[in-house]
Amino acid sequence: MEDSNQSTNNMSNNKQAVSLLIHHEVQLDSMSIYEVWLKKVIDVASGFSGHEGVFVIKPDHQQNKYEIAVRFSDEASAKAWLNSTERKQLIVEIEPALLSSDDVEIQTGIDYWFSTIAPPLQQPVRWKQWLLLSLAISILVLVSEPIFSILFEAVPLFGSWGIRQALMSSFNVALLVFFIMPRLVKLTSTWLHK
């Protein structure tokens, strides 16, 4: 089992969002046990300060590798979950169902969108990441602009400088992080990793 203290030493001391990428290889006859356990873990993690959501990539049919991205608002919050008694107890509970040790990677910023559990696939080249992200943001801005213009006409205070930008950027970034990018990366995975 990997020492979580060693993993957290790799994180820089800053306030940017942190994702813990957890890779689990599960025994095929223990998949249903793991699924129940995973729901329990997600519930417990959500109670920790700074928790911003969980994204799970489940294996295809007859595969056994899971990838869980647990997002936290900052390094301190991620460390608190990673080193918590609750998490350690949960790992001990599922160890018999795992084929390999609990593998945790630390990702900051948006890098976790482009990470993968499949060893042969490398990190996509930067221009593909830029292109995919630019496309997603462009479409999002085109769609959200008319919606926000209705809001700003109805409530002029929201349309004032500073508030307008804060509302639009918060809304668009939330959609990107939690809904659009995880699905878009999965959809374009073959092209991204060529």
- pLDDT score, position 93: 94
| Cβ–Cβ < 8 Å for 59, 65 | yes
Q: What is the pLDDT of residue 89?
A: 95
pTM reported for the whole predicted model: 0.52
pLDDT per residue rounded down to tens, the chain (194 residues): 444 444 444 444 446 788 888 889 999 999 999 999 999 999 999 999 988 888 888 887 778 888 888 888 888 999 899 999 999 999 999 999 999 888 888 877 655 555 544 443 456 788 888 898 899 999 888 988 898 989 899 999 988 898 988 998 888 888 887 778 877 877 887 787 67
Among 56, 59, 60, 89, smallest CA distance to 70 is for 56
Domains of the chain, earliest start first: 4-114 (3.30.70.100), 126-192 (no CATH)
Query: Which pLDDT score is estimated for 118?
Result: 43
What number of CA atoms fall less than 13 Å from residue 157's CA on the CB side? 0
Helices marked H in the chain — which ranges? Answer: 4-8, 31-46, 75-82, 85-94, 126-154, 163-175, 181-187, 189-192
